[in-house]
Amino acid sequence: MSTGHVRKEDAERHVLLRVLLLNAGLATALLAGGLFADSSGLLANALDNTSDALTYAVSYFAVSRSQRWKSRAATITGVMLLVLAFGVTADAIRRFINGSDPSGYLMMIMALAAAAINAWCIKLLKAFRREEVNLRAAWTMSLNDFASNFGIVVAGILVHLVGNNWPDLTIALVIAAVALYGGIKTLRDASRNREESEQSEQGKAARR
């Protein structure tokens, strides 16, 4: 293995570790904020960042492994996004039936803080967004988070103005829809990468 390749892998690990820690800390803060604010949107964001942190951990260990391992890491990312989508939808339906009283101010404050941290993650991952499939998946997740944060800010403003929970539930469902789309896209990317890897291995075997 060349020195340049080793340095590239070290750089990827370093970035993934940083975004992992940032997302783990952010998930904890959003979970506490979501419970205190009685906000489905903030809880959805907390679950999103939790799945991100777990995905970054898997991607971290997949960096120096084969393309097949990297495809598996991306597949785990896709599955987590689908689980997130269904979990958030279920919570929004529960709150619609049972009622909730979200705090618009706290939603805005927490979402703006989360947007700043996710912008930092995007900056860290930008150099690797066209690299291996697991890193492309990480980039997709960070972009989804950033977009969700601003959606929660808008929802917080509307909650404050209308005095109702429907903007909070709506943004939670939007986050679920974005996660669903991202999950399907990531699974397709992982499947395509796995097929290309298998074809490459078969080609090498045929030339022997």
- Cα separation of 117 and 143, whole Å? 12
Domains detected in the chain: 3-207 (1.20.1510)
The pLDDT, as a whole number, for residue 1 is 47
The pLDDT, as a whole number, for residue 198 is 61
Tokens of residue 200, six digits: 């490459």
The pLDDT, as a whole number, for residue 64 is 58
Phi, psi of 63 (to 5 degrees): -55, -50
Tokens of residue 191, six digits: 């499947």
- Cα separation of 79 and 159, whole Å? 31
Looking at residue 131, what DSSP letter applies? S
Q: What is the pLDDT along the chain (208 residues), one digit of tens a residue?
A: 455 555 667 777 788 888 889 989 999 999 999 999 999 999 988 888 887 787 778 777 766 566 666 677 778 778 888 888 898 899 899 998 998 899 999 999 999 999 999 888 888 887 766 666 666 777 777 777 888 898 999 999 999 999 889 999 999 998 888 888 878 887 887 787 777 666 665 555 555 5
Asked whether the beta carbons of 49 and 29 are under 8 A apart, the reply is: no
